[in-house]
Amino acid sequence: MAQVVALIDDLFFQAKMIETAKQLGVELRVCGTPDAVVAEVTRAAPKLVVVDLNARNAPLEAVERVQSIAHGIPLVAFLSHVQVDLAERARAAGCQEVMPRSQFTRDLATILGRAKSESS
């Protein structure tokens, strides 16, 4: 069972997340489309969903669809700090936390660690 499902299509950032999750002992499933995210959330009931709001494949759709099937799963999204309107749309779609990419990167281990502590 994946503890964290992430919609991220940036290969460099995927590698960073995978390595951080591995170091923490957190199972991470990276998806590239909203369909893949929904399938994984349905299959695995993760403890956390992470969405890169700058992903090319409809990240807001992924947020909305996850919210429609799994209201209790925390959604954390990140984006460029200047995208204020997109941040507001993500919150309206159901993201509990929306943060600048720099903050997400800085706090990545803590954010992923939440999924592990939720599983204990």
Whichever domain contains 74, its CATH number is 3.40.50.2300
Q: What is the pLDDT of residue 2?
A: 62
Q: Point out the residues of the chain with pLDDT beneath 70.
A: 1-2, 118-120
Q: What is the pLDDT of residue 108?
A: 96
DSSP string, the chain: --SEEEE---HHHHHHHHHHHHHHT--EEEESSHHHHHHHHHHH--SEEEEETT-SS-HHHHHHHHHHH-TTS-EEEEE-TT-HHHHHHHHHHT-SEEEEHHHHHHTHHHHHHHHHHHH-
Q: What is the pLDDT of residue 93?
A: 87
Q: What is the pLDDT of residue 37?
A: 94
The total domain count for the chain is 1
> What are the tens digits of pLDDT across the range 48-79?
999 999 988 889 899 999 999 887 899 999 99
- Structural domain boundaries, residue 73: 4-119
Q: What is the pLDDT of residue 118?
A: 64
Q: What is the pLDDT of residue 115?
A: 87
